[in-house]
Structures are given as structure tokens and as C-alpha cells.
Structure 1
Amino acid sequence: MTQTKETTSIHEDNAQAARPFPEPPHHIPFAHKYELEQLVKKMKETMEYKSVEGNEMEELIMIDAIQRLGLECYFRDEIFATLEKWSQMGDDSDVLHDVALRFRLLRQAGYDVTAENFGKFKDKDGRYKQELSKDVKGLMSLYEASELRINGDQILDEAADFARNMLMGILRTANKSESVVIRNTLKNPYHKSLPRLTAKNQLHNFEGHVNGLHECLGRPVWVKEMQDLARIDHSLAQIQLQNEICQVSRWWKEVGMGKILEHARNQPIKWHMWSWVALTGPDMADLRTELTKPISFIYVIDDIFDVYGKPDQLALFTDAVKRWEYQNIIGLPDYMKVCLKTLYDTTDEMSHKIFIRHGWNPKQCFQNAWAELCDAFLVEGKWFAKGHLPTTEEYLKNGIVSSGVYVVYVTLFSLLGEAINDHKNMHLLSKSHPQIVHFTGTLLRLWDDLGSAKDEDQEGHDGSFVACYRNEHHGSSDENARECVFKMISNAWKSLNEECLSNSPFSQDFKTAFLNLARMIPIMYNYDDNHRLPNLEKHMKSLLPHE
């Protein structure tokens, strides 16, 4: 899992990880809790009233607004009831905005809705009607819906191109407020966004944002109420995140890996952001802090293989992970021994917690996942120590494993109690590579390889998909290779969408976690020319108030 290291304010994790951390001083004020509960109650009453009075499209607009502000956890039952009703209704509307919004909300909730209904917006030649070119809200809704396309959805492939081209043309003459909404839709479509990170940016003009996306009659009272609820929710989330960071940073300081590996990545706060977006429930704080622990080891062990270790030492290290025995480790430097001991202890402790919580011990599954990861790192090391570039197929197959995604899979599977939710799920761990995890790993590996910055403080080299592609396709350029990668990323998203729509044995929390990890990947790997992650920095500054 070769991770590009950035020169960024996030690098201050090194300093934070080194200083003592007091007990988390951040408590959620009772007044905030009470106000939140009252607003949630009021919003639920409004949703029920809209349903009774038959203002059906406003129901869907409310759900869209709730989801964009990351408030879905408070209204799961109400949203389910509304979408269940809509799933049983026919769609005879000829309004593009309404058809696309209904389709998107139902499909992203897992309903099997066909995209063929968009055919009514095509002319006799099979092209989208030109009169739609002036329907700004309809085009934005269509573009958002196209992000839910799966393999074989040609009509949505065409919709994506049509809507994008029309909106780009409209931008040339749009006013300022309209252009802001259009640009945001094109750059950050909801299905690939993380409300946990972006909601605050919408609060200052949320009414304008809602009106820019939808045809709202008048000024709905619920918009102001929802805005107030989102502000409180964001404040509570900030407090919760600060508490979690204190716990993660204390754990990282106690294990001491940052001191032992001076030049390795030492960024527990950044690593925790993966967990923060994956598991969004207010009641999942303990699960998030636990998930950050194996994620941290993925980064550290990657550095050991890519920077620190010698080939013979790395072979011994991998063998020790496979045997899962700390005794009789001979020939390993002290830092490897400490890493192994800490990995064993952390895994044992987590396995015990999961056994207490769910009555099932995942220790053997963890051991298998770590052994598989180290094997993949070892394969990469052997390839590139010999100057060997594998085929793109070989590289990607191994690279998905070395991304660390299967360690994350076993961790999420265990923490969320998937084996207990449905005992039939037990066989999924022996299978090891479910498609939903595979395609998330594909996205991670390909985005990682697209990183434009060089690894800071890392002298190791383990190649990239681009290099393997150019070696395999003689005469091709970097541009050709990158075009191929972007096409593969698009196809991986279609397959990931399909996995989330299928009758999966996994829980909704599990599927949402992997969708959120996929959404987080571009933020974690979108480097600028200064080796920085500006988007991640911006989000973290929003979530972590300056002291």
C-alpha cells in the first residue's frame, strides 16, 4: 500500500503524536443535546405532514437536503417509509428534475429501479432532446443520477456526457449564484461526496443551495430548521472528533512506533480520517478508534517494506507474521521486533473486545489478512528489486492486496458483527475477497498510482500501474496510461454501485462504510504541485477548530 507522503499541515501529526495527551476535555453540552432532539422531533413532524398533505416532490427534496447535510442518521425510519412508498408508485412525470431525483434517491437506497425511464427524454434519433439544454435544474439532477450507473446502463452513460456538456455550456453565461451550484454539482456530485466533510460549507447559504438545485415553492420553513439542526450536529461532531483524536493519539504514543521508526509516517490524525468517514453513526466512536489501529499498521508496515527493510529481513518478517509467534525471532532488527510485538498485542486486544461484544473471535481471520498483506508487499519488493515490471493484470491483482483493503475488510466485518448479523456470512471471510471490497481496493490502488507527488522521505520504489502499462503497451505515453486508469476507475465505480444494489449478505452499515472509503480515496491522494493535500487540509481545518 504505497502511500504518497505529503508536505502539509497534516504533517504536524508528528509533533502532536509526540506530546502528552490529557484526558479528552470535550463534553457535549446538555443544552446542545436537548436542542438537537427538539429540532429532530420537529423535522419528523414536518416530514409526516408533507406525506399526509400529498406534497410528494417536496418529500423527496427534504430527503435530498437531509442527506446532503449528513443528517440521515436521525431520520432513517422516515426516509425508509417515504422511499418505500415511492418505490411502489409509477413514474409518469415528464419533468426531468423530478424523474432524475426520484431515480437517484431510490437507487442509492438499494431499490432496483431501471434507468430506461430516461428514454422518454430522448428524441426519435435516440439523442437527449435539445430543449433540455435550458433546463438547468433538470440537467443537474440528471447528472447526479448518472453517477449511480452500473455496468450496462448505456442510457446513463449517455446522460452523463449530455448533462456535463450542456452544463459546461450554460456556465459561460450563468450568473454567479447559478454557476456556483453548477460547478459544485459537476465537481462534487452527491454520490461521490462525503457530507461528513462537506456539510459545513453549505450552511452559510443552505437555502440558496436548495433553491439552486430544486424548484421550491416559496421559502419552506423546514429549510431554516434543517440548517439549525445541521449547525448543532456539526458542533457535536467536532467535539466527538476531538475526543476520538485524543484517544487515537494517546494509543499511538503508547505503542511508540513513531519514535522507533523516525522516518516513517507518523500521522495518526490523518489516518483516523479514514475511520471518521467510513463509520458515520454517532454511536460508532469506539468502532472508529479501533478501526484506526490496523489502518495505522498498514501505513507503518508499508514503510518497513518500502524504506527500511532489507530483502532477507523482510522475508523473515513475513514468515513471523504467518507463524504469529513472537518467540524465537532471529535475524530481525529491533524495530521489526517491536512492530511485530505491537501488532500481535493490538490484534489480540481487538479480537478480545470483538469476542466480548459479538461472541465470536476473529483472531485467525486477522492473522490471515496480515499474512496476505505482507506476502503482497514481499512480491512487490522482489519485482522491483530485480527491475521487473509485471503485466498490468499481475500488478493490479497484487496491488489490490497491498493496498491494505482486505485488512480493513476483516476489521470492519468483525467490528460491525457481520458474522453475528447473519451466520451465513462466516464463509465470506474464508473467501476473503468479496467484490465490494475488491472494487474499493481497485479504486484505492489506481488513485494511489495517479498521485502526482513523489514520496517525501521515502527512497523505496515499487513501480506503478502507469509504468506497467507503458511497459506492456510499447510506444504508449503517460497520457495514454492515465486515460486507461481513469476509464478503469469509472468502471470500478459502476461495479461498486452494482455490488451495493445487489442482494448482498452484508449490512447497510458495512456497504456504506466501503462506499465512504471509496469516496475518501481521491481526497487522500489528490496531491498538488507542492506535495500537499489541499482538500484534506481544508476539511480537517473545518472539523478541528483552531485552539
Structure 2
Amino acid sequence: MTEKAEVLKEEVRKMVTGAKEIPDILNLVITLQRLGLDNHYETEIDEQLSFVHNFDYGDKDLNLVSLRFYLLRKNGYHVPSDVFKSFKDEEGNFVLYDVKSLLSLYNAAYLRIPGEKVLDEAIVFTRSHLEVVLDSLEPTLADEVSLALQTPLFRRVRILETRTYIPIYEKEAARNDVILELAKLNFNLLQLIYCEELKTVTLWDEGAAELLPEYMKVLYLHLLKTFELCEDELGPNKSFRVFYLKELIKILVQANSQEIKWRDEHYFPNTIDEHLKISRATLGGFQVACSSFVGMGDIITKETKMTAYITILDDIMDTYSTTEEAMLLAEAIYRWDEGAAELLPEYMKIKILVQANSQEIKWRDEHYFPNTIDEHLKISRATLGGFQVACSSFVGMGDIITKEILDWLLTYPELLKCLSTIALLCNDIKSTEREQNGPHHASTVQCYMLQHRTTMNGACEKIKELIEDTWKDMMNLYLTPTERPKLIAKTVVDVTRTADYIYKKTDAFTFSHTIKDMIAMLYVEPTLSF
């Protein structure tokens, strides 16, 4: 299977380098991206997109103009959106085109940045028309439109898009059978790798199972052991990176501590901004994104371990611990030494994350609600652990991750705040009704309801608007030139896509059975029988 795939890769490489016409280049690149093959041709695709960008292309084909805009922005080119104004009539309204062109415009428009009114209008126009015609479309196009209405192309998790698009592409009359065969082989090879990785991450703490009657004292000691292993694997020249990973956990703990304070004081943030300032840190997305940059080869297994630790930590501080126990855990994590574990109860034994959880515990015990969304976000976005999880994926990126980059990550930059904000708000929308059944939970939804005297449904709709605004901010940062490797921004966007997927229909992180079919599709069901 591997040998066959290598032969097909070279055939496709010739197609990529041999494409000379703009339409051919655009259609080939988007096909390879959606089938998960573009990583095999990064240099060739970069060269082709550079050619497309430098070529004065004034085509009146909405489909091709939209596709060009989409691919260039996705690849980091800050191309202007004014090009779409030529597809409006004299009254400033978009002209109706064929469904394929409208779908391309719809997907392109989601790479918008703040202030791009023409793209905001394009989304409203195309969505309304696509919803009307959906039931009358032929099956293959209907599948494409339905997927886009659920999640626009740019926001889809890459591997899920690949697995979903292969059968769609197979039905297309204009498909290339060589590319199709390679896509199937490539996915099945990836599936084998994923299964091996899954085996690794499900065995790593086997011995800890014996300690479960003691509950979670083992958590703290396992974190220390993981840090030691990281230092050994990184070697003397790179072991300093582990310090940064510890600092990321402190941020998470600080945010959780503030939310605990809100809970204890029965306090609700007065605005969404107050809430987001704290609570988006509690999701852990910042930590997950940054931990990818710390420097080991097995990125996925290390990131998975970090995600597991953050999940356990959040559950301990948010649900199982008393206020006193949560504060002991926070104190131990601020110290980061084995002796500190003796301070903890038997089920607790990782700074940013704990600080955030500690604050949330204080909120809970004091029945305090943040006065603003900003106050809430400052704490609660850290308790989700998204920052920590994202950073953990940077662990295996080699020499491109320098000390300067790690210092920058610890400033909790705006790009990572966008990730944590989106993750928190998506989580709150799907989980707020369930969590309000508890004694106290200061979600962004509750904060907005109190701040603006509105209903839960009204608050959720406004928070959805805030999510869209944050996506715009993230895209703006994504397109902003920087000396840092582009892979950092791409990784943060990837983690954000995952958060968007997890909370798209329900709180799938809590109710994991809802993604059972997706897991089977990725790990069990092949795209090809051998």
C-alpha cells in the first residue's frame, strides 16, 4: 500500500507542477487540500499560489474569483475583498448566480476580517439563497451545500473534511481517478498511524489505574513526571521549554480560581467582556496550542496527554473539589515540586489553568457573578484549557520554536485569546442550560442576560455574533505579517476548528457518545478495501 501511494504521489506532483492556467491551478489546489493531500506538495503549491497572487487576474467568473480569494487568504495573502463589489448591481445588491458560484462565494466570505461589509453581506445573501434551493439540488451538490451551511469550508477540521469529501469527490464527473486513489490510500495509511497513536495514548497511564481509589493525588505527580520526561527528551539545549509549559498551566489555574471565587460569592459578571476576560482561559485552548511548540517528535501523543490532564484538572476544580481543596491544588501548582503534593487531599496530586479555576471556585462559593462579559472572559476562558492544549501541540516542531517564541506565547497573545474566547463561548451556548441546574455557574450567557436584561435565547444569539466577531479578529491576526513561523497561527486555527466542531450541535466534550460515529469513521472504517 505504501509503495503504491509513493508512485501515485509522484504522478500527482507532475500534475501540480505542470498546471499553467489559473483555473487549473485553483481547482487542483482546492481538491488536494480538501482530500488531505496538500501537505505532500507544500513547496509546489506555495509556488503556484505565489504565481496566482502575482498574476493580474480580472476574471468575471464568480466561482473562480471566490476560489482565488479563498485559497490566497487561507495561505496568508492579505488580498482585498473589494473584488466582490463588481458582482453587485447598481443598487448595491449581489446578483444571483449559479449555485456552485454562490457556494464558492459563501465559503470565501468566511475568511473575512473586521470592517469587510461586502463579505458580511455576501454571507447573508448566499446563505439565504442556498437554504432556499437546497432541497431541489442534485445529490452531490446538495451534500456540498448542506455541509457548508453547517460549517463553512475554512472552519472544518481538516481530517474530518478529508474523510467526508472523499466519497463526494468520487461521485463528481470531473474527478481525477489518480488523485482519488491516492486520497483513499493516503487516508488509510493515516488511519493506521492514528490507531497506533491511540494505542499509545490509552496505555500511557495504565499503572495509574491502581491508584484510582486514592482518587487524584496522582494527577499532580503525573504532571511532574511528564515534565521530567519532556526535559530528558528535549536534552540540555531545549529543556528550558518545559518551564514555559509549567507557566501555561499556572495561567489556567489562576482563571479557574477566579471562577471558584465567583461561585462562592454568587457573583455574576456584569458584562460579557468581564466574563470572557477570565473564563476563556479556563477552557485550556491556549495551553494546548502552546504546548505543541515545546519540542518533542510525538506531537499528537503529548498533546493528547496534556488534554487529558487539563480535563481532569478542570473537573477536579470545577466539580469535585471543595473550595479549600481547590486552593491547596492551586498553591501546589504555583510551587511545582513533589513536596507540594503532600499538601493535597488524596484525589488531587498546570499554573495559569489552576489560577483561573481557583478564581471560578471563589465566584461559586461567594455566589458572585461577574459584572461584565469582559470580567468573566478574563478568568473563565483560561479554565477550559484551550490555551494549554494548543501550546502542547507546539512541543514537536523542532528548532523553529525558539525561546523568543515561547516568551511571546506566555504573554497570552491576542491570537490565543481568540481561540480561548471562541472555545468558551461555543461551550457556554451548548452547556449553559444544563449547568444552571447546579448551585452556581457564572457563564457568559448568564452574564449577558443580567447585563442586558434579556432572555437566554436572546443572549445566545448575541454571543453567536460575538463568536463571529472573534473569528474575524483571528483571521485579521492570521493575515498580519510577522517574523514568527506561519505554522504557529495555522496550529491555533486548527485547534479553534476542533473547538467549533466539538460544540457545534451539542456539548460533545461532555456527551462524548454523540461523536461515536465520527470516531468510527476516522479510526475503524476504511475508505478502501484491500
Please give the range of the TM-score, normalised by the shorter of the 2 chains.
Answer: 0.7 to 0.9
8 A Cα contact 2:163 2:187, kept in partner: yes
Q: Distance in 1 between matches of 2:38 and 2:180?
A: 14
Q: Distance in 2 between matches of 1:258 and 1:441?
A: 32
Distance 1:320 1:440, change over 3 A: same
Q: What residue identity is the alignment partner of 1:158?
A: E
Q: What residue identity is the alignment partner of 1:309?
A: S
Q: Report the counterpart of residue 227 of structure 1 in structure 2.
A: 180
Q: Distance in 2 between matches of 1:208 and 1:277?
A: 36
**What secondary structure, in the 3-state scheme, does the structure 1 residue paired with 2:146 have?**
helix
Distance 1:173 1:328, change over 3 A: closer
8 A Cα contact 1:194 1:277, kept in partner: no
8 A Cα contact 2:23 2:64, kept in partner: yes
Q: Report the counterpart of residue 40 of structure 1 in structure 2.
A: 9
Q: What residue identity is the alignment partner of 1:46?
A: M
Distance 1:429 1:471, change over 3 A: same
1:521 aligns with 2:487: no
Q: Report the counterpart of residue 425 of structure 1 in structure 2.
A: 405
Distance 1:409 1:328, change over 3 A: closer
Q: Distance in 1 between matches of 2:348 and 2:383?
A: 19
Shift of 1:429: 3.6
Residue by residue, what CA displacement relative to the aligned partner does 1:130-171 show, whole Å, maximum 9, x if unpaired? xxx241111011001001001111111111111111212222
Q: What residue identity is the alignment partner of 1:497?
A: M
1:59 aligns with 2:15: no
Q: Distance in 2 between matches of 1:275 and 1:378?
A: 17
Q: Map 1:64-79; keep pairs closer than 5 Å.
A: 64-79=30-45
Q: Which moved more, 1:192-201 or 1:381-390?
A: 192-201
Q: Map 1:398-413; keep pairs closer than 5 Å.
A: 398-413=379-394
Q: Distance in 1 between matches of 2:38 and 2:113?
A: 24
Q: Report the counterpart of residue 363 of structure 1 in structure 2.
A: none
**What secondary structure, in the 3-state scheme, does the structure 2 residue paired with 1:388 have?**
strand
Distance 1:175 1:235, change over 3 A: closer
8 A Cα contact 2:390 2:495, kept in partner: no
Q: Map 1:112-127; keep pairs closer than 5 Å.
A: 112-127=78-93
**What secondary structure, in the 3-state scheme, does the structure 2 residue paired with 1:113 have?**
coil
8 A Cα contact 1:242 1:544, kept in partner: yes
Shift of 1:80: 0.5
Shift of 1:50: 2.2
Q: Report the counterpart of residue 214 of structure 1 in structure 2.
A: none
Q: Report the counterpart of residue 336 of structure 2 in structure 1.
A: 324
1:477 aligns with 2:455: yes
**What secondary structure, in the 3-state scheme, does the structure 1 residue paired with 2:205 have?**
helix
Q: Report the counterpart of residue 143 of structure 2 in structure 1.
A: 180
1:171 aligns with 2:151: no
Q: Report the counterpart of residue 259 of structure 1 in structure 2.
A: 212
Shift of 1:449: 0.6
Shift of 1:508: 2.7
Q: Distance in 1 between matches of 2:29 and 2:291?
A: 20
Q: Report the counterpart of residue 289 of structure 1 in structure 2.
A: 301
Q: Report the counterpart of residue 434 of structure 1 in structure 2.
A: 413
Q: Map 1:357-436; keep pairs closer than 5 Å.
A: 370-391=350-371, 392-417=373-398, 420-421=400-401, 424-431=404-411, 433-436=412-415
Q: What residue identity is the alignment partner of 2:339?
A: Q
8 A Cα contact 2:289 2:392, kept in partner: no
Q: Distance in 2 between matches of 1:256 and 1:199?
A: 36
Q: What residue identity is the alignment partner of 1:333?
A: P
Q: Which TM-score applies when normalising by structure 1?
A: 0.76
Q: Distance in 2 between matches of 1:96 and 1:284?
A: 44
Q: What residue identity is the alignment partner of 2:188?
A: S
Q: Which TM-score applies when normalising by structure 2?
A: 0.79
Distance 1:155 1:258, change over 3 A: farther
Residue by residue, what CA displacement relative to the aligned partner does 1:295-321 show, whole Å, maximum 9, x if unpaired? 111111111112221111211211111
8 A Cα contact 2:62 2:87, kept in partner: yes
Distance 1:34 1:235, change over 3 A: same
**What secondary structure, in the 3-state scheme, does the structure 2 residue paired with 1:451 have?**
helix
Higher relative contact order (CA 8 A, sep 6+): 1
Q: What residue identity is the alignment partner of 1:292?
A: T
Residue by residue, what CA displacement relative to the aligned partner does 1:152-205 show, whole Å, maximum 9, x if unpaired? 111111111111112122225334443222222222321011231232233234
Distance 1:91 1:178, change over 3 A: same
Shift of 1:90: 1.3
Q: Report the counterpart of residue 511 of structure 1 in structure 2.
A: 489
8 A Cα contact 1:146 1:157, kept in partner: yes
Equivalent position to 1:95, from 56, 61, 75 = 61
Q: Distance in 2 between matches of 1:479 and 1:322?
A: 39
Q: Map 1:107-256; keep pairs closer than 5 Å.
A: 107-129=73-95, 133-209=96-172, 219=174, 223-256=176-209
8 A Cα contact 1:317 1:336, kept in partner: yes
8 A Cα contact 1:453 1:529, kept in partner: no
Q: Report the counterpart of residue 12 of structure 1 in structure 2.
A: none
8 A Cα contact 1:373 1:402, kept in partner: yes
Shift of 1:260: 4.4
**What secondary structure, in the 3-state scheme, does the structure 1 residue paired with 2:77 have?**
coil
**What secondary structure, in the 3-state scheme, does the structure 1 residue paired with 2:4 have?**
helix
Shift of 1:455: 6.5
8 A Cα contact 1:107 1:113, kept in partner: yes
Q: What is the aligned length? A: 456
Q: Distance in 2 between matches of 1:258 and 1:181?
A: 49
Q: Distance in 2 between matches of 1:461 and 1:228?
A: 54
Distance 1:191 1:441, change over 3 A: same
Q: Distance in 2 between matches of 1:294 and 1:69?
A: 29
Q: What residue identity is the alignment partner of 1:251?
A: W
In structure 1, the gaps of 5 or more residues are 1-31, 212-218, 338-369
1:492 aligns with 2:470: yes
In structure 2, the gaps of 5 or more residues are 220-282
8 A Cα contact 2:16 2:45, kept in partner: no
Q: Distance in 2 between matches of 1:276 and 1:324?
A: 19
Q: Distance in 1 between matches of 2:123 and 2:301?
A: 38
Q: Distance in 1 between matches of 2:143 and 2:396?
A: 40
Q: Distance in 1 between matches of 2:208 and 2:55?
A: 56
**What secondary structure, in the 3-state scheme, does the structure 2 residue paired with 1:334 have?**
coil
Q: Which moved more, 1:481-490 or 1:387-396?
A: 387-396
Q: Report the counterpart of residue 464 of structure 1 in structure 2.
A: 443
Residue by residue, what CA displacement relative to the aligned partner does 1:469-495 show, whole Å, maximum 9, x if unpaired? 112222x10111101110011011111
Shift of 1:414: 4.2
8 A Cα contact 2:299 2:394, kept in partner: no
Q: Report the counterpart of residue 15 of structure 1 in structure 2.
A: none
Shift of 1:240: 0.5
Shift of 1:36: 0.9
Q: Distance in 1 between matches of 2:482 and 2:214?
A: 41
